[in-house]
Amino acid sequence: MKTVLITGCSSGYGLETARHFHSQGWNVVATMRNPRQDILPRSERMHVLPLDVTNDESIAAALDASGPIDVLVNNAGIGLVGAFEAMPMAHVRKLFETNTFGVMAMTQAMIPQFRARRAGVVVNVTSSVTLAPMPLAAAYTASKTAIEGFTGSLAHELGAFDVRVKLVEPGYAPSTRFAHNTELRVEDLIPEAYAAFAGPIFAGFATPALVTKEIDVAEAVWLAANDASAQLRFPAGPDALALARAS
């Protein structure tokens, strides 16, 4: 029986992905900063662990407690839309600490066991903002685009050891708590000078033509984790698929 470790399982994509892998008969290590067992199935195949991907000691402790892992899903992330001019650099660094360096740190910590076994899969969850430019998301896009380049290069590097590395690119999901892990509010990041520009964009966010559901991402992660081909990118959700076809 295979085991998957998923980061950021307290809500959204991570939570649904943990449920999906469990429903497929896998052992699941569902990690989150503040563990909650009540939101996941109670099962001997479901293990909930604390994990802060920005803390090396927390990463080491989680991996020690997990045992052998077959698939690592780097899903934990934070984000916020707003004018880059108004975004504090401290928050930009926070975005990168979780979305970029957190993914790199988790992956680096997992590589030795994968390399030694000459088996394993890393699935990095990014965003459809990497498929086409999106206004009012410059810092977030930068943090996710960095992982796109990282993943593509690492796929070649670890392929020499039969370890697969994949990307899942979710589209826009209004139901997810996109900015849950930030203390900033969108309205604080739209100066008056940007109001006329931002208005139509936020109106579009409120009434999107196509949206991504959590299960779309969970199914894409499942597909990526079990894919033995050379395919790198797995867009998730109808809007992401449309962007991928157009790019």
- Angle of helix 138-159 versus helix 103-117 axis, rounded to 10: 10
Assign 193 to helix, strand or coil.
Answer: helix
Cα–Cα distance between 30 and 48 in angstroms, integer? 5
Compute φ and ψ for 206, nearest 5 degrees: -75, -30
Strands (E), the chain: 3-6, 27-32, 46-50, 71-74, 121-125, 164-170, 233-236
**Of 52, 46, 238, the residue nearest 246 (C-alpha):** 238
Compute φ and ψ for 230, nearest 5 degrees: -90, 5
Query: In one letter, which amino acid is 92?
Result: V
User: For this structure, is 140 an active site residue?
Assistant: yes
What is the bridge-based pairing of β-strands 164-170 and 121-125? parallel
Could you give the residue numbers annotated as active site? Answer: 140
